[in-house]
Amino acid sequence: IKGQAKQLTRDVNPPRQAAVLGAGIMGGGIAYQCAWKGIPVLMKDINDKALTLGMNEAGKLLNKKLEQGKIDGLRLSEVVSTIHPTLDYTGFERVDAVVEAVVENPKVKRAVLAELESQVGADTVLASNTSTIPISLLAEGLQRPEKFCGMHFFNPVHRMPLVEVIRGRQTTDETTARVVAWARKMGKTPVVVNDCPGFFVNRVLFPYFAAFSQLLRDGADFRRVDKVMEKKFGWPMGPALLLDVVGIDTAHHAQTVMAEGYPDRMAKSDRDAIDVLFEAGRYGQKSGQGFWRYQ
Ligand code: NAD
């Protein structure tokens, strides 16, 4: 962990206008959170349907607040009107900061970032919401790698307080400070971390998941483990439900990255519960079944 986010943000303003690439689970959530906290945001996707889904999700969250009496209709339409869904880069020349949240594929991300860099002003900061790809690797094809860093949100974005701000080899203090200020303005708690496999959170989470898998191998029942961790230990949820929320496919991919990154600690000797569920196509909440069933 590289230092105190608080010190870095002194005299640094959050973006007046931001943008998000990708209107999926994460991109849609990030766009909503920006708008909710008063930052107008462009939300770009290559798929019209994804833009509609992203806008619908924002609408659902705001309607819930309306039903709870936390906002009125005027505030609802104000917030919605500050999210601008788009299929092209119109308006990107005016944004101060952009985070990409497209698919977790280094080739796609690098191509998207290079294209994005050619569409924004020279002073715009760029960030990636990657969960696993090294920031310095994504920065390799950029003209201005010093203006690029990781900005790792957690799912669901509107509820999870933490944002990891990841410094690549060439990321400057100024870029880090601007992204920290952005995360704070979004009501989040940024933590600045070095670029390494798993960044901070997944270095803590995946050994926990590995210990959980070991318990199952030793004969434990996942339902009881979840119950004990949640009801008796007091965590918001147990490891099986957490894996279902994260997505078994996402966890499977991240587990591979961790095993490659830390062969001394995270290498696996045989198949575990995550492999078995992944191979069965049981991806967790998103597919209706993981450890638990969702109907
Ligand atoms: P998703 O599949 O829900 O959304 C990805 C979106 O990107 C899709 O709508 C797709 O149409 C769009 N897209 C693809 N190529 C594009 C392009 N060139 N330009 C614009 N949009 C494009 O994925 P997600 O779960 O939101 O994940 C997005 C990123 O966030 C990934 O890097 C992932 O690792 C990371 N992440 C995901 C989670 C999670 O729990 N889902 C948590 C933290 C970080």
Question: Per-residue pLDDT tens for 149-184?
Answer: 999 999 999 999 999 999 999 999 999 999 999 999
Please list the active-site residues: 152
Is 161:171 a contact under the CB 8 Å cutoff? no
**Best of 129, 135, 165, 253 to mutate for ligand 1, by most ligand atoms within 8 A of CB?**
129
Ligand 1 interacting residues, C-beta cut-off 6 A:
21-27, 44-47, 50, 101-104, 108, 112, 129-131, 153-155, 246-247, 250
Residue-level pLDDT at 1: 46
Distance 248 CA to ligand 1 centre (A): 16
Closest CA to 250 of 219, 225, 284: 284
Q: Whose C-alpha lies nearest to ligand 1, atom 20?
A: 45
What are φ and ψ of residue 148, in 5° steps?
-125, 140
Distance 26 CA to ligand 1 centre (A): 6
Residue-level pLDDT at 9: 64
pLDDT digits (tens, 9 = 90+) for 22-72: 999 899 999 999 999 999 999 999 999 999 999 999 999 999 999 999 999
Distance 21 CA to ligand 1 centre (A): 8
Is 103:26 a contact under the CB 8 Å cutoff? no
The one-digit pLDDT tens for each residue of the chain (295 residues) are: 455 556 666 679 999 999 999 999 899 999 999 999 999 999 999 999 999 999 999 999 999 999 999 999 999 999 999 999 999 999 999 999 999 999 989 999 999 999 999 999 999 999 999 999 999 999 999 999 999 999 999 999 999 999 999 999 999 999 999 999 999 999 999 999 999 999 999 999 999 999 999 999 999 999 999 999 999 999 999 999 999 998 999 999 999 999 999 999 999 888 999 999 999 999 999 899 999 999 8
**Best of 26, 246, 252 to mutate for ligand 1, by most ligand atoms within 8 A of CB?**
26
Q: Is the peptide bond before 156 cis (omega within 30 degrees of 0)?
A: yes
**Domains of the chain with CATH codes:** 5-194 (3.40.50.720), 201-285 (1.10.1040.50)
- Please give the helix or strand (H or E) that residue 162 lies within, else none: strand 162-167
Q: Whose C-alpha lies nearest to ligand 1, atom 15?
A: 102
Beta strand 83-86 with 148-152 is unpaired
pTM over the 0.90 mark: yes
Closest CA to 70 of 36, 95, 97: 36
Q: For the complex shown, is ipTM > 0.90?
A: yes
Q: Whose C-alpha lies nearest to ligand 1, atom 36?
A: 131
